[in-house]
Amino acid sequence: MAIIALDPNAPEFTRRYPNLADPRLGAATLATSDDFFAEMSRMLNPEPAVFIPGKYDTNGKWMDGWESRRKRVNGYDWCVLKLARAGVIKGVDIDTSHFTGNYPPAASLEGAYVADGAPDAQTQWTEILPSVNLQGNSHHYHEVGSEQAYTHLRLNIYPDGGVARLRVYGQPQANWAEADRKQLFDLIAMENGGYVVAANNQHFGLASNMLMPGRGVNMGDGWETRRRREPGNDWCIIALAQPGIVEKIEVDTCHFKGNYPDGCMIQAANVVGGTDSSLITQSMFWPVLLGEQKLQMDHQHYYAEQIAKLGPVTHIRFNMFPDGGVSRLRLWSRLA
């Protein structure tokens, strides 16, 4: 099992917003000028890029990312991708991990809003990140100031080379004002705009995995903490995409068998004002939404009548006792 390394130097937008270029949410690469050495789709893989010494394919050294051939004519290479959801881009990470003598010296990003279908020759592209310098084997974090929503991006690299990963952090666009107030929405789902504010430990798996669509594909696709050797319990704080009245909760321990939590409990609050960092202490005293429940291995647990009537809430604190792994968490709610 791989230990998840969280980049301590990553800016706040990488934790606050979902990666809209994640193929697990529906993002995909559509077209490129050239991907001779490494196909464009690898650039969106959710796992950190790897380097495998001695691995070659028919075109040369195998690289984990998108890599074009050495350009011998005027111009530059580009790749077009469809975002998982239309969204307002808050920041990007252009990651050149393991590309040392073959990274592009510079890159830029353009965005387009295409309601139906794919971009074509008539599509209007807007520059959202002017050309920036790149280094080899490095993360390049850049905030994006545009308030316009985009469905597609075009990454331009000057003139050629390889990019290991592209992460596009943004606020998914949803018209909540016109949403059915009687319908239940999973308001912590990542594709709806839910996000993890904080977690006390994410040693083996990120807490944000619990907000991904579908069921976990394996034990690595969930939130898993280290083995606790001291009193207390593990916890994470999650912000709802919109204030909601919780009607149904699902806790899924899919694939967690010898390491599922013994139990769980959820607190909740309607938070007005303050900052994300100020919630950690506050959350210890939030009222209980779901009292402590015994959990089973590799099982979907559903709760409805056990949920306290707290009214509209904006945040929850998910506690697991004492430690372990949870694959998915769902908070089916009516919009407040």
Residue 58: per-residue pLDDT = 93
Whether 159 and 181 map to the same domain: the answer is no
Q: What mean pLDDT is reported for the chain?
A: 95
Does a structural domain hold residue 324? yes
Residue 274: per-residue pLDDT = 75
What value does the mean pLDDT take over residues 74-98?
97
Residue that is last in its domain, among 146, 172, 198: 172
Whether 25 and 153 map to the same domain: the answer is yes
Whether 97 and 220 map to the same domain: the answer is no
Q: Which residue has the tokens 């372990």?
A: 324
Residue 186: per-residue pLDDT = 98
Residue 95 scores a pLDDT above 80: yes
For residue 115, the tally of other CB atoms under 10 A from its CB is 6
Between strands 234-252 and 195-199, the pairing is antiparallel
Question: Distance of CA 66 to CAs 49, 71, 159, 163, 229, Å?
Answer: 11, 15, 14, 5, 43
Give, in degrees to the nearest 5, the angle at Cα 256 between 165 and 300: 100
- The amino acid sitting at 260 is Y
Does a structural domain hold residue 6? no
Residue 276: per-residue pLDDT = 81
Does a structural domain hold residue 276? yes
Strand (E) positions, 159-305? 162-163, 165-172, 185-186, 195-199, 223-224, 234-252, 263-269, 288-294, 300-303
Digit-coded pLDDT (tens) for 153-196: 999 999 999 999 999 999 999 889 888 999 999 999 999 999 99
Q: pTM of the full predicted structure?
A: 0.88
Digit-coded pLDDT (tens) for 269-294: 999 887 788 899 999 999 999 999 99
Whether 27 and 167 map to the same domain: the answer is yes
Three-state SS for 210? helix
Whether 116 and 135 map to the same domain: the answer is yes
Whether 327 and 183 map to the same domain: the answer is yes
Whether 208 and 149 map to the same domain: the answer is no
Residue 3 scores a pLDDT above 60: no
Whether 167 and 192 map to the same domain: the answer is no
Residue 52: per-residue pLDDT = 95
Whether 125 and 202 map to the same domain: the answer is no
DSSP per residue, 243-278: EEEEEEEEEE-TT-SSS--SEEEEEEE---SS-GGG
Whether 138 and 264 map to the same domain: the answer is no
Residue 140 scores a pLDDT above 90: yes
- The amino acid sitting at 202 is Q
Residue 7 scores a pLDDT above 90: no
What value does the mean pLDDT take over residues 143-162?
97
Residue 4 scores a pLDDT above 70: no
- The amino acid sitting at 116 is D
Residue 2 scores a pLDDT above 60: no
Q: Sign of torsion, CA 22 24 30 34? A: positive
Whether 147 and 238 map to the same domain: the answer is no
Residue 5: per-residue pLDDT = 63
The gap from C-alpha 307 to its chain's centroid, in whole angstroms, comes to: 28
Residue that is last in its domain, among 172, 207, 229: 172
Does a structural domain hold residue 51? yes
Asked if 303 contacts 183 with a C-beta cutoff of 8 angstroms, the reply is: no
Q: For position 146, which CATH number holds?
A: 2.60.120.260
Residue that is last in its domain, among 153, 172, 191: 172
Domain carrying residue 295: 177-335
Whether 36 and 112 map to the same domain: the answer is yes
Digit-coded pLDDT (tens) for 209-246: 999 999 999 999 999 999 999 999 999 999 999 999 99
Does a structural domain hold residue 5? no
Does a structural domain hold residue 4? no
Residue 79 scores a pLDDT above 90: yes
| The total number of structural domains that make up the chain | 2
